[in-house]
Amino acid sequence: MVKKVNKSKENIFFISVLVGIAVISIILFSVLLRTRVTSISEQRLEDYADYNAYAAHIEIESMLSVVKNTAAGFSSYEHINSKEALANLRIVNADSSDMSLIIILPDGSSYTGSGKSDNLKNTSFFSKIMSGNSVIESADEGSNMEGDY
């Protein structure tokens, strides 16, 4: 009888050790798996962010190229707000769904391709433009001219 009790205690101890090892193994596996999945997810997210940043850079460079080339073309007009210039502006704006250009004169007068005008002299970006800086702003930040370029 004493041998059976000792054998039962040994079996219970052995089973307890095995269960403990199994629980510890499952916990370690879970921690390692979570660490690996997190690492892979972070790397994918970083790659995705880099790709989007590069794509945005290319798109902005392309838009700036259009703006610079259009500005160079408009320098040939005797009057930049002439009907011919505004007609050309309308064509340029029709070709681009991503941006709309307006003509802004040194006194702040501005014109859209449709001929709509406004005075932007008191806007935050006008002084930057007059200082020779390139400025990209949404239409609603500058005036009420949005939607009719």
**Residues 38-89 pLDDT 10s:** 999 999 999 999 999 999 999 888 888 888 888 888 888 888 878 888 888 8
Are residues 108 and 143 in contact, defined by beta-carbon separation less than 8 angstroms? no
What's residue 40's pLDDT?
A: 97
What's residue 93's pLDDT?
A: 82
**Given pLDDT bands bounded at 50, 70 and 90, which one contains residue 143?**
very low
